């Protein structure tokens, strides 16, 4: 397929997303099933163009004067990929699978329209109803924070110290031009191609042998700040597929006991294979069993309980741009209920003197500081550990630069730390 055909396909996918309210992943899958002549490379390029359009949908629509799928696709090629109107006309001409060449209005938009005077939610490419929450978090910087969330995310890897160190991983992935991440002592970063694709690292021997795992640097930092110690009793309460579980186990050097739990057994399924590949031997996976409390025997026994709480995922919009436009206020309210419940249940497992670490991949104060404050009203025996103290305790004092304004937690964002958005609060039980 030609680049012009990729553009036409992206328009068709964006139309499916708009008209049928289909999730982007489903719309792309359905398009691929209906056009089996498209190879994997073609499908990847179409997906990249589609996701770029969704990342910057509001600002592209403002500049093009339309949010129609065609306007979004052409605007993406012009404003994200840097193709001129003449370049688009030349690319589209003579290709029967191409969109029509830009008309005069589209040419004028591409040539002259800017974001001058655009409201924050347009310049920052996020839904207008979230403006108040992001203003509470970032004030006048919210448009810049949103714009950073509208860029492509890098491909980050975590070195599994149970299998080797970062120098060994850098050597194994030298052909990918992997580099050390700036904040995580265990991280590697691999550059994306010009069309936003990363190399197939899951096929690399370093991955297959468990030396590296795919994990954003922000997620690595959240696990690092939890400070799982050798010989401790540690519970990953909302473990999901186990990204942070594996990081905690590596910190523990396979000593002590690590428990992984999630309310949805399906999310836990990949962890069995991942733990075996990583060489993690001190892990117990506590899958849910109906109404039975599978963690009852751990009441007040854990040195550390990590609550990677269900959230709106606003901090991961770089990787899942479709989510920000599909999100509704009711989802935020539901997540807050789930976060309160998770904190209350997890707190029962923490021994006196133990730690409860609350993590979200959200930037919204309602899900972060507000939830910690509400929890502390219910459980005054838990107090926040100052961020500077927590960072120093894990040998990373420079992370204190990413403390919240009150110094009681951490907030990482693409703009400030180059990572996905993460909130981390460490609470100690008296």
Catalytic residues: 361
Write the pLDDT tens digit of every residue in 248-293. 999 999 999 999 999 999 999 999 999 999 999 999 999 999 889 9
- Could you give phi then psi for residue 196, rounded to 5 degrees? 90, 10
What local confidence, expressed as pLDDT, does residue 291 receive?
84
DSSP H or E segment with residue 351: strand 350-360
| 422-429 and 410-412 strand pairing | antiparallel
What local confidence, expressed as pLDDT, does residue 284 receive?
97
Residue 29 CA neighbour count, 13 Å, CB half: 5
Strands (E), 205-349: 212-214, 233-236, 257-261, 283-286, 302-308
CA distance 124 to 372: 27
Residue ranges for the known binding site are 262, 308
DSSP H or E segment with residue 383: strand 382-384
Please, which residues have CB within 8 angstroms of residue 261's CB and are 6 or more apart in sequence?
A: 235, 236, 237, 238, 239, 285, 286, 287, 288, 294, 295
Nearest alpha-carbon partner for 128 in 329, 311, 316:
329
Task: Please tell me the pTM assigned to this model.
Answer: 0.95
Residue ranges for the known binding site for S-adenosyl-L-methionine are 262, 308
Residue 62 CA neighbour count, 13 Å, CB half: 17
176: tokens are 């990918």
Nearest alpha-carbon partner for 72 in 11, 160, 139, 133:
11
| 257-261 and 283-286 strand pairing | parallel
Residue with tokens 């901090």: 315
CA distance 40 to 82: 24
CA distance 45 to 1: 10
CB of 304 within 8 A of CB of 354? yes
CA distance 172 to 207: 10
CA 424 from centroid of its chain's CA atoms: 14
Q: Which residue ranges in the chain fall short of pLDDT 70?
A: 195
Strand order in the sheet with 155-159: 179-180, 187-190, 155-159, 212-214
Residue 31 CA neighbour count, 13 Å, CB half: 27
Which residue ranges form the domains of the chain, and what is each CATH number?
3-116 (no CATH), 155-214 (3.30.70.1170), 218-429 (3.40.50.150)
């Amino acid at each position: 397929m030609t680049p012009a055909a990729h553009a036409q396909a992206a328009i068709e996918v964006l139309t499916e997303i708009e008209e049928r309210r289909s999730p982007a992943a489903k719309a792309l899958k359905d398009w691929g099933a209906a056009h089996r002549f498209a190879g994997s490379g073609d499908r990847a390029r179409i997906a990249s163009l589609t996701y770029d359009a969704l990342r910057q949908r509001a600002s592209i629509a403002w500049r093009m004067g339309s949010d129609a799928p065609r306007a979004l696709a052409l605007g993406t090629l012009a404003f994200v990929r840097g193709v001129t109107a003449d370049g688009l006309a030349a690319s589209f001409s003579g290709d029967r699978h191409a969109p029509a060449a830009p008309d005069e209005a589209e040419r004028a938009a591409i040539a002259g329209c800017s974001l001058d005077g655009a409201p924050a939610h347009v310049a920052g490419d996020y839904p207008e109803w979230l403006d108040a929450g992001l203003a509470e978090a970032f004030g006048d910087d919210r448009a810049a924070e949103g714009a950073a969330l509208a860029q492509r995310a890098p491909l980050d890897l975590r070195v599994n110290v149970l299998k080797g160190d970062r120098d060994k991983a850098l050597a194994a992935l030298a052909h990918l031009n992997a580099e050390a991440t700036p904040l995580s002592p265990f991280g590697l970063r691999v550059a994306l191609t010009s069309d936003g694709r990363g190399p197939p690292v899951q096929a690399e021997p370093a991955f297959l042998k468990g030396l590296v795992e795919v994990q954003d640097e922000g997620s690595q930092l959240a696990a690092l700040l939890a400070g799982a110690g050798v010989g401790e009793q540690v519970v990953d309460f909302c473990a999901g597929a186990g990204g942070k579980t594996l990081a905690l186990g590596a910190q523990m050097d396979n000593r002590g006991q690590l428990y992984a739990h999630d309310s949805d057994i399906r999310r836990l399924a990949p962890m069995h294979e991942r733990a075996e590949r990583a060489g993690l031997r001190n892990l117990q996976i506590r899958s849910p069993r109906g109404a039975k409390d599978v963690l009852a025997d751990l009441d007040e026994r854990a040195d550390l309980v990590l609550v990677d709480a269900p959230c709106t995922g606003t901090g991961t919009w770089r990787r899942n741009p479709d989510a920000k436009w599909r999100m509704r206020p009711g989802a935020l309210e539901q997540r807050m209920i789930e976060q309160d419940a998770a904190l209350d249940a997890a707190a029962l497992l923490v021994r006196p003197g133990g730690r409860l670490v609350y993590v979200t991949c959200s930037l919204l104060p309602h899900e972060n500081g507000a939830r910690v404050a509400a929890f502390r009203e219910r459980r005054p025996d838990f107090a926040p550990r100052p961020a500077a103290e927590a960072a120093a305790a894990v040998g990373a004092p420079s992370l204190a630069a990413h403390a919240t304004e009150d110094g009681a937690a951490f907030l990482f964002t693409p703009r400030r730390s180059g990572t996905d958005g993460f909130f981390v609060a460490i609470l100690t039980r008296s």
